[in-house]
Amino acid sequence: MSHVDSREVAVVCVNTAIMLISAVAIWSVHIKRAYIPLKCKNIPLLYTLFATMLVWYIGDIWAYQPTVVARASRPVCIFTMSWMRMSFGIYSVLSCHIFRVYQYYCIFEWRTKVEKRLLWMPIALWACFPLTYGILASTLPADRGISYIDDPPMCYSAKMLYFIAVGILVLLLLCWIVAIFMVSHIHGSFNEFCELLAVIVCTIVIVVVQVVLRWIPRIGESGFGYNTMVSMTDMLIGQLSLFILISRPLYHSIKDPLAYQKYFLHKLKRENRQSEYELANGTQLGRISTSVQDSRGVGLVLDIESPTEWTESVSNELLKPQCLAHPEPLLQRCPTETDGRILV
């Protein structure tokens, strides 16, 4: 395509900046993946969520900013708009959130870890939705499926395929809503249900706005205006869901990791929730050895079974010059009356 629309370039730049923010956030999660409050968020599922957001973002560029990329065509529209944007984009993002609710139910209701059949069976089930839509979009003729139009330049979905896409989307949203109702009586120690509820409410509101505006003639047929609205609200769905899930533990892992982890562990013990959160992160919370450091750079070992009043005294013991001279095996070189453990 010879002409590049500068407005589309601006939209791509804005969306790219937004995705970079998410990339930095997920990289921070990866760096701090040993931090117990973050581990309880199912970090592999967070990686999967970000990957689906990235595929969705790339599909949006090809589908809605066609002058920015190489010449678009019907096969390109099918691959980007149907497979990347829908099948491996929005449908997969919703499936990640439904799986998170499913995991929440298994851990707190069934008291079991999601593995083996409990892991692969729901994955196989939810794979049917994106594959069904992708195959239909690839096989339907242009007048009933995906086509590319030149004026304005955009990928276009015929009403038949559009209603199929919306139907699958509504079905996934209904499954998600039912799953949310199933766990509404379960309340974790750190507002997990409120996070799940906030994610689904934000997603439904944005999807409804997109669908309604699609059928307003002066907006849905406006080319650049509609494309910009859809691509930027798509970014909003992904960003809100990711940051609702990780913002609190990620913030505390940077600002006050030791203090928040102490609070986190003591709250679990006080509410007798260690076993559920052990299932969530795979760590035995009764005896945790962690690489968290205090504000003076001293490595600390946290023990959930111990009282709080000894923390500072043992920390001062470890700050002796002979201890600081050998920072690597700090706790082994400087045993204390607490047997080398900082008690929390």
Q: What is the mean pLDDT of residues 242-267?
A: 93
Q: What is the mean pLDDT of residues 227-234?
A: 87
Domains and CATH numbers, the chain: 6-255 (1.20.1070.10), 258-333 (no CATH)
CA distances from 217 to 64, 70, 122, 142, 220 (A): 18, 29, 39, 21, 5
Lowest mean pLDDT among 62-76, 189-203, 226-240, 289-303: 289-303
What pLDDT does residue 289 have?
A: 45
Q: Where are the alpha helices (DSSP H) in the chain?
A: 6-31, 36-39, 43-64, 74-77, 91-108, 117-139, 159-182, 192-214, 217-220, 224-255, 257-270, 274-281, 311-318, 321-324, 330-333
d(CA 157, CA 144): 8
* 3-state secondary structure (DSSP) of residue 327: coil
Is the pLDDT at 321 greater than 70? The verdict is no
- Exposed/middle/buried for residue 178 (C-beta within 10 Å: 0-12, 13-18, 19+): exposed
Q: What is the mean pLDDT of residues 48-69?
A: 87
What pLDDT does residue 52 have?
A: 95
d(CA 121, CA 254): 37
Name the one residue in this structure whose structure tokens are 């973050």: 38
What pLDDT does residue 219 have?
A: 64
What pLDDT does residue 305 have?
A: 46
Q: What is the mean pLDDT of residues 266-292?
A: 71
For residue 24 the two structure tokens come to: 């930095």
What pLDDT does residue 213 have?
A: 81
The sign one gets for the Cα dihedral 216, 230, 177, 157 is positive
Note the pLDDT tens digit of each residue in 68-88.
876 668 888 899 889 999 999
* CB 300 within 8 Å of CB 289: no
CA distances from 61 to 68, 100, 222 (A): 8, 28, 17
Q: What is the mean pLDDT of residues 302-309?
A: 46
H/E run at residue 150: strand 146-150
d(CA 119, CA 22): 26
Is the pLDDT at 14 greater than 70? The verdict is yes
pTM, 2 dp: 0.81
The mean pLDDT of the chain is 80
